[in-house]
Amino acid sequence: MLRTSLPFARLPSLVTRAAFKFKTGSTSFTESHSIAARVAPLTATARFARAGASVRSFSARATTRNFASAALATEEPDMVCGSSVAAKHPVLDRMWQHIATGEENAFYVVDTAAIEERYALWMRHLPYVRPYYAVKCNPDPQILQTLARLGTGFDCASQAEIRDVLAAGVDPRSIIYANPCKQPSHVAFAATAGVNVMTFDGCDELTKMKKLHPEARTVLRLFVDDSHSQCPLGTKFGAVLNDVPAILRHAKAIGSNVVGVSFHVGSGCFNVSAYSDAVARARKAFDIGASLGFNFELLDIGGGFPGDETAPIAFEDIGAELNKSLSEHFPLSSGVQIISEPGRFFAAASHTLAVNVIARKLAPNSLAVSPTPSSPLKAVQGKRALHGGADPYYMYFVNDGLYGSFNCLLYDHAVVHPMALAPQDADAAYSSSIWGPTCDGLDCIAKDIKMPVMDIGDWMYFANMGAYTSAAGSHFNGFVPPQKIYFDSAADEAN
């Protein structure tokens, strides 16, 4: 029987799947669905909930309710949290099954059920905001197909991303080309593909779009406060409010069809007030547009939503803040369509990365006693080190690193948490560092952490690795990206 190092019991079954259908026009949509809520963990980080289900239905075009009352009033499931970074038991089962085939290379276990669970969470807390998945976060075809089946839209930043989404069977009317600075040929491609909604933040971009895509339905990207985010975007994108009148006058002069406003508080936002402040700025831009004869009908509130419960702020808190702010500035009675661009929110928890320990050594001057072939490092644990240190310091080399999945440490300011898949002694932890496989001395994943002692050939894993990881990996030094093993934990539980 395959082993697992985690002692917790089998997860409760996932009760039923949610069924969602959307009817899409250009940017407007209606949605009708009933949700039999999943009660399994909402992420791949060991949230365990009791079995149960809540059902509700709604119409996103209803005008008798406000955003603040839109979130489900049903009781939240009790959560029993284990390690904040431990993977779900079914994920570890799949990991062991794949290792048992003789696998040595790093690989991902991708649980598509986690994506559906995140979608159900979104609909509980922001039911009147249609998510447009940020493809840049992770363009994995399985993610795209899963979200397309659920009925999300898609936020694309390039011709290639548009092609990928169209290949998943998505209606081009459910795509927003949300890159404010686009290559001309990509704009022309969007026109031929029927992707009509696209963003801009300046007069020159608007003129270019008008020439290459005369029928485009354009959306003005605003500058907002993104100082409370992992990855601020405002230094590169967004029109300040003082410039909005001049930009819209130019739009009027060239006959551009400006249909709304967008903003982005930055990727990985950790301050809920950033959202309400941005919504208030968007309201001012709407009012400026109205004074110039525009009738805006679309608000894109961007991304920045957390991908798991280890984030500094909870998605539930963001949802409550947004519902309150949207009720005040863009009530349902206004008829304004609200969309968003979540990326990590959907992708992060779906991927768990397994890496193999390909080499190990003691840090210089770590031990006074050297290991022997018949008595490896574990035999000298606890021996007094040089310079009076009591414990050894281990350096582990694994077969993925900064040039692969862990580029997120550089580009996304991520923090990762290694877990030994099957530690020999889970109670004993020693100072350690983890290094990638390349010849670059900067290829370090973690320093000065505590890990149980591991042998060459042992495995460790990292949960919540679906966002801004594989999407930006390279083949540096000839190391190939990890393969992906897909499964649906909900279907497995049902069987």
Structural domain boundaries of the chain? 115-346, 350-491
* pLDDT of 391: 73
Q: Which two tokens stand for residue 220?
A: 């003005």
* CA–CA separation, 212 and 189 (whole Å): 9
* pLDDT of 41: 30
Taking each helix axis as running N to C, give the angle between helix 203-212 and helix 184-193, from 0 to 180 degrees, rounded to the nearest 10: 50
* CA–CA separation, 446 and 391 (whole Å): 18
Q: Which two tokens stand for residue 468?
A: 């801004």
Number of neighbours of residue 477 by Cβ within 10 angstroms: 14
101-118 mean pLDDT: 97
pLDDT interval class at 424 (50, 70, 90): low
Q: CA triplet 379, 383, 384: central angle to 5 degrees?
A: 160
* CA–CA separation, 464 and 114 (whole Å): 10
pLDDT at 94 over 90: yes
Residue given tokens 């390279």 in the structure block: 474
pLDDT interval class at 226 (50, 70, 90): confident
Q: CA triplet 336, 337, 338: central angle to 5 degrees?
A: 115
* pLDDT of 17: 29
High-pLDDT (> 70) share of the chain, %: 74
pLDDT at 57 over 80: no
- What DSSP string describes 407-440? GHHHHS------EESS-S-TT--EEEEEE-SSS-
In tens, the pLDDT along 447-485 reads 999 999 999 999 999 999 999 999 989 888 989 999 999
* Number of helices followed by number of strands (H, E) in the chain: 12, 22
Dihedral, CA atoms, 435, 437, 443, 444, nearest 10 degrees?
Answer: -10
Number of neighbours of residue 231 by Cβ within 10 angstroms: 16
Quickly name the fold that domain 115-346 has.
TIM Barrel (3.20.20)
pLDDT at 182 over 60: yes
* CA–CA separation, 71 and 320 (whole Å): 8
pLDDT at 28 over 70: no
Q: For 172, left (φ over 0), alpha (ψ -120 to 50), or beta?
A: alpha
391: which DSSP letter?
Answer: S
Closest Cα to residue 132, out of 163, 172, 192, 160?
Answer: 172
* CA–CA separation, 334 and 287 (whole Å): 13
pLDDT interval class at 269 (50, 70, 90): low
* CA–CA separation, 267 and 231 (whole Å): 5
What is the overall mean pLDDT for the chain?
80
Q: Among this protein's residues, is 269 annotated catalytic? A: no
Q: How many CA atoms lie within 13 A of 41 on its CB side?
A: 30
Which range of 74-83, 222-231, 386-395, 481-490 scores highest in mean pLDDT? It is: 481-490
Number of neighbours of residue 255 by Cβ within 10 angstroms: 8
* CA–CA separation, 384 and 372 (whole Å): 17
83-93 mean pLDDT: 73
* CA–CA separation, 289 and 203 (whole Å): 15
* pLDDT of 259: 98
Look at 251 and 370; give whichever has higher pLDDT: 251
Question: Is the separation of the CB atoms in 422 and 356 below 8 Å?
Answer: no
* pLDDT of 333: 95
* pLDDT of 232: 64
Q: CA triplet 292, 295, 297: central angle to 5 degrees?
A: 140
Look at 384 and 234; give whichever has higher pLDDT: 234
Alpha helix stretches (DSSP H) within 35-152: 89-99, 112-125, 141-150
Range from 23-37, 92-106, 145-159, 248-262 carrying the lowest mean pLDDT: 23-37
The CATH number assigned to the domain with range 350-491 reads 2.40.37.10
Radius of gyration of the chain (CA): 25
In tens, the pLDDT along 303-359 reads 989 888 777 788 999 999 999 999 999 999 999 999 999 999 999 999 999 999 999
* pLDDT of 133: 99
Which range of 5-19, 49-63, 384-398, 456-470 scores highest in mean pLDDT? It is: 456-470
Number of neighbours of residue 145 by Cβ within 10 angstroms: 16
Name the catalytic one among 137, 408, 439, 444: 439
Dihedral, CA atoms, 275, 57, 132, 94, nearest 10 degrees?
Answer: 110
